[in-house]
Structure 1
Amino acid sequence: MHTPALCRRHLLSLAATLATAATLALAPAATRADTPADQLVIGFSMNNLLSLDPANATGLDVAEIFANVYDTLVVLDPANPRQVQPGLAERWQIAADGKSLRFTLRKGASFHSGNPVTADEAAWSLQRVVKLNLALATVWKSYGFSKENVEKFIRAEDAQTLVVELPEPGDARLVLYTLATSVSAVVLDRKTVMANEKGLDMGAAWLINHTAGSGAFKLDEWRAKEVLLASRFEGYWRGPAKLRRIVWRHMSESQSLRLMLERGDLDVATGMAPPDIEALKSHPKIRTQAVQRGTIYYVAAQSKDGPFADKRVRLALRHLIDYEGLNKTVMPHFGVLNQRPVQLGLAATLPQPGYTLDVARAKALLAQAGFPNGFKTTIRAVAEPPFTHIATNLQATLAQAGIEASILTGTGNLVYGAMRDRRFDLIVGRGGGGTEPHAYSSLRSLVYNPDNSDAAKLTNFQGWRTGFQSTALNELVDKALLEPREDRQVKLFQDAQRLYEQEVGGIQPVSQMVETVLLRSDVQGYQSHPSATTRLHGVSKQR
């Protein structure tokens, strides 16, 4: 039997081996060996990976990890994200009136601890998110759930039956999509979590760097901005994964990713800069895989006070972004042009408005707003591509209109933390509800703001973060959500986009995310998911 100390030493030894691999990457290629045949080593940036608590783990970086160490009731087909497939729930039904969903959980699924997965754990997991009221509670609150009513509306009728009732009129399809894609929808092992509760935190402190799931892999160790190790769960209900271990390595430097992938020190790499991707396209042992995601790159302006509170200044900003230049030179392999706050490809998405860089128009607007000579401001951006490149480009175009912008780079916590506190000028960010293939998801995330007070703390509404609010826009979005006829709903969502354009919201979309993954040719069965929930259960290596 392994003692905790021995297990710890084993993990540290493994981590040391990985660190050695990084050093050996500088050695001649002839001395290098490929990664182990039973392990998948993934290089990606962990800059935005701040917590492993499903109630508070924001950003795309955590989605893939959660998709492998946890399970959700349902999942989305990676080839057709509008198609819902079984997960822990083997079947489900939306009530005829659209006011509730009933899930039948499969028998025989167990957590990593050995505890059985039941509807009680599924209900408690969702209730916990709402009760803690941290970042990931926002989406559930938007459906009408609250601390006071969540136990009434999300409940287990028996060990295998979970009922989710909508407290307010809404679209049950959207709730189903959220249950399939949101980090907040994973099912937790209640007994394990509560055994580590401190005070009344429902295990929140413990879950920052631990997991309690039923996924194909179980967490061994996570060291922030270094490495996350997960090993195969032999008791997984779908059957054991093909690989014994997954190693996620923190790597934010594109050239390091490229070098290590070339030499075989990595099996998979994401976040690589376009020049390095292009350089590897002809590599005989590397292939690329690109998938369009609903998440949107944007420039956000703090619209509550300061210069950008003036609609004319925000309109000037709209004319000081070089959309064409950015999408031709910076965004290849990162994104495709999208100037709308709704992801591409949906029935409700309007044609592009055709915004262009127009410095003369911007100068005239600034003069009308009382800034004929411009002003000083700051641009915050996560310290990695493409954010820094977009910020640098924006800094140059702002200067053409007399706006002197300083760039402040840092971790996701520094950048998005300032945005959540509403203490920023401009931010180059990435967001939107794009994991859910529904127009309301994007609009809710990027433009909807039902309460603009600081006390509301609607931090997961990026519209609230900017301080921009339009009562008429909110009403349109709400009305669209409740419209049962699809053709009418599409029209209302389109009207909402037109109104947002007229009122010049605080977030200006620039590009829609494309995730370009580079893989060693011996990696089989890897399929990047549009919702970022890429599952590795069926991945193997052919050597």
Structure 2
Amino acid sequence: MKKSLSSFITILIIMMVIVGCSSSTTEPTNDSNEGDSNTSSTDSNSGMPDRPFVYVAQQVVGSVDPAKHTDETELIAVLNTYDPLVYPKVKEGSMEPGSHIAETWEVSEDGKTYTFKLTEGVTFQSGNPLTAKDVVYSIQRMMAIKQGFSWLWSGVLNPDNVVAKDDYTVEFTLDSAYAPFVSTLTQLFIVDSETLKANQADGEFGDNGDYGQKYLEEKVAGSGPYTLEKWERGSQLTFAKYDNYFKGWSEGQIEEFQMKIITEQATVKTMLVSGEADMVHQWLTVDTYKEFASTEGIKVQEDPSVQLYHLPINTQKAPTDDVNVRKAISYAFDYTIATEQIMNGAVQAQGPVPVLVPGHNDQVTVYNKDIEKAKEYLAQSKYAGQELEVEFMYLSENPFQRQIAQLLQSNLAEIGITVKLNGGPWTQITETTAKVETTPHIASISDTLKYPHVDSHTFGIYHPSAHGSYRSSAWYDDAATTELLETARKSTVVEEQMENYQEAQALIVENAPSVYVANPNHRIAFQDYVEGYNYVGLLGYDLGFYNLTVK
């Protein structure tokens, strides 16, 4: 068992070394050649202004409760105020899970029992010590609330089988072997059980009341490097250094930062160029990053990503409940324009798993624009001869998604399908895709690895237990796929795991529940006095501000 796990971790390390070696920041250039995108500015030597560090995000934070977070901005808030049980090796440029709150761990030969030794001396921001009982409470709370990433352990872990053996030893006994288990624990953030119990309201969870949900609507109960000082909903969150953070503090680390929510691209550009912001998010247009790269004092870092950009198709709503309609849509879409023009040379996706992720199946069917083939599939559908209209929902404040919306509308018009465009904010997309009946026919989703394993983009999107999230807005439910994914998870031999995950990928693509558009490059821009930034491909983990320094 240990040998199999070690083999898989080795593959992960190699993959992330490739990613790390491929990232770069270079001197400024006015060369607009799209093939030369590794650019940045020269140092301005101006230094960090005397104010809190400012990071500009593009979507509203809906929750700072670590049992409820689902997307990048929410994870940033949680990651900086709480500690996960294990932490990816960001400083080494790897997404491999490493020691953190869990100092060491052992796995039984049958792959079912995991015993974690915890780091001693960790305190919550309340001053309470972090012990094994807090780990037990955190996983039980998360699985009881059944939101956020709780689906990671649904069906494989009975929360009653998580036991504190002593103050600093916790044991998880799984129902069956579960291949990505340690990797999933990057999403288990530990809460202060004493604080939540002291502040719980009446609720549906017996002696645990509401499990402190009302309290965590405004406050945090974590041990992370920063305290949440102020939350101006919809506009800004302010964080300050937790003096007694267990990893200590060094000169140059960020002691106070603000996360400002700005949806207008022009405003974001102005803030970074003028020096009002220190770092801005990854969701701007490629041309904007090119402008930043030619601006003195600004760096642009570009890395190959393990992100999937795709258009999930609702498989439970007419007319996209017919696989022939879904294949027609997949063949009508112009991937070349999308990847080369709109996304500036992104790699076309080959199914649901990004090409850099170990376990990716490079033998899956890859759809390309073929109008005649699209028309043939449409003619084979049960809706042949009918006038068809589908709704496409996309993020209206995202410039490239607006372009994708126009492209899809134009492409489907070529095969006689009318596309009703519905742009909206991120909150509308997450709320709408929570129920099958309100989910649009097609949505626009960027999906970064949520935990460092191929399981994230297979089981995490296409197993029925994942339904109810924007990630699974295809509402895919195929018995053969489900069986393959469950078998893969239970295998203790990496080779067997990968065989089942890859077979599942082929079957998923054959059922066409998404238009698999691209694995885009990851770009981020920041002032040249910011140091220590590492992109490892795992959702939000590049924005743990404790890992950054300013000069």
CA distance in 2, matches of 1:292, 1:193: 41
CA deviation after TM superposition for structure 1 residue 483, in Å: 2.7
CA distance in 1, matches of 2:407, 2:137: 47
Q: Aligned residue for 1:178?
A: 184
Change (3 A) 1:38 1:93: farther
CA deviation after TM superposition for structure 1 residue 38, in Å: 5.9
CA deviation after TM superposition for structure 1 residue 82, in Å: 4.6
Task: Verify: 1:426 aligned to 2:441, yes or no.
Answer: yes
- How many residues end up aligned between the 2 structures? 490
Task: Verify: 1:445 aligned to 2:457, yes or no.
Answer: no
Q: Aligned residue for 1:519?
A: 526
Q: 1:410 aligns with which of 424, 427, 433?
A: 424
2:439 maps to a residue whose letter is: F
Change (3 A) 1:136 1:514: same
Query: Residues 334-413 of structure 1: matches in 2 within 5 Å?
Result: 336-351=347-362, 353-369=365-381, 370-372=383-385, 374-385=387-398, 386-413=400-427
Q: Aligned residue for 2:244?
A: 235
CA deviation after TM superposition for structure 1 residue 432, in Å: 5.0
Which protein has greater RCO, CA pairs closer than 8 Å, 6+ apart?
Answer: 2
CA distance in 1, matches of 2:475, 2:119: 44
CA distance in 2, matches of 1:292, 1:428: 24
TM-score, with structure 1 as normaliser? 0.85
* C-alpha distance after superposition, 1:180-206 (max 9, x if no partner): 2x2xx1111112222221212111122
Task: Verify: 1:134 aligned to 2:127, yes or no.
Answer: no
Task: Verify: 1:536 aligned to 2:545, yes or no.
Answer: yes
Q: Aligned residue for 1:106?
A: 119
Change (3 A) 1:233 1:51: same
Q: 2:498 aligns with which of 484, 490, 496?
A: 490
* C-alpha distance after superposition, 1:365-392 (max 9, x if no partner): 2233233364122111122323332222
CA distance in 2, matches of 1:425, 1:357: 23
Contact kept, 8 Å, 1:433 with 1:444, in 2: the verdict is no
Task: Verify: 1:61 aligned to 2:70, yes or no.
Answer: no
Contact kept, 8 Å, 2:48 with 2:550, in 1: the verdict is no
> CA-atom RMSD, angstroms?
2.2
* C-alpha distance after superposition, 1:29-67 (max 9, x if no partner): xxxx986346311111123x2111111111122222222
Q: Aligned residue for 1:84?
A: 97
Contact kept, 8 Å, 1:138 with 1:459, in 2: the verdict is no
Task: Verify: 1:73 aligned to 2:85, yes or no.
Answer: yes
Q: 1:194 aligns with which of 193, 197, 213?
A: 197
Q: Secondary structure at the match of 1:71?
A: coil
Unpaired runs of at least 5, structure 1 = 1-32, 451-456
Q: Aligned residue for 2:9?
A: none
Q: 1:218 aligns with which of 200, 214, 227?
A: 227
Query: Residues 152-301 of structure 1: matches in 2 within 5 Å?
Result: 153-171=161-179, 174-180=180-186, 182=187, 185-199=188-202, 200-240=209-249, 242-270=253-281, 271-301=283-313
Change (3 A) 1:62 1:350: same
Percent of counterpart pairs with the same letter? 22
CA distance in 2, matches of 1:510, 1:205: 40
Q: Secondary structure at the match of 1:170?
A: coil
Contact kept, 8 Å, 1:38 with 1:244, in 2: the verdict is no
CA deviation after TM superposition for structure 1 residue 292, in Å: 4.1
* Mean Cα deviation higher: 37-46 or 403-412: 37-46
CA distance in 2, matches of 1:529, 1:195: 38
CA deviation after TM superposition for structure 1 residue 474, in Å: 1.0
CA distance in 2, matches of 1:400, 1:275: 29
Contact kept, 8 Å, 2:306 with 2:356, in 1: the verdict is no
